[in-house]
């Protein structure tokens, strides 16, 4: 950690909270991830973002409501249909 303009220790940087999950990751079936869920979506705006369709009402066109494909499944996880 460095020093700020006043020669005091810098505050630790905060990371953005991900708000794109429908429920807490890890509360779903063991061994499953967001990528294996039927609600997982790749959305194209200016860039491609990974989103949960259950949270579509809260989507932004940026990373604030993103999820990660490898995040552990939440309690709303459902298997993808095999079509």
| pTM of this structure | 0.74
The residue whose two tokens read 């999950």 is 21
Instruction: pLDDT tens for the chain, 83 residues: list them.
Output: 577 777 777 766 655 556 799 999 999 999 999 999 999 999 988 888 999 999 999 988 778 899 999 999 999 999 998 76
Half-sphere exposure of 74 (CA within 13 A, CB side): 18
Max Cα-Cα span within the chain: 62
Q: Where are the beta strands (DSSP E) in the chain?
A: 40-44, 48-52
Half-sphere exposure of 39 (CA within 13 A, CB side): 22
Tokens representing 28 are 């779903």
Residue 41's pLDDT is 95
Q: Where are the domains of the chain?
A: 34-65
Residue 17's pLDDT is 59
């Amino acid at each position: 950690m460095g020093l700020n303009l006043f020669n005091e220790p810098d505050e630790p940087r905060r990371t953005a909270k991900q708000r794109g999950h429908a429920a807490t990751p890890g509360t779903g079936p063991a061994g499953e991830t967001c990528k294996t869920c039927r609600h997982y979506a790749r959305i194209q705006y200016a860039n491609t973002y990974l989103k949960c369709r259950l949270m579509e009402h809260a989507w932004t066109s940026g990373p604030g409501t993103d999820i990660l494909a490898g995040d552990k499944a939440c309690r709303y996880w459902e298997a993808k249909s095999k079509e």
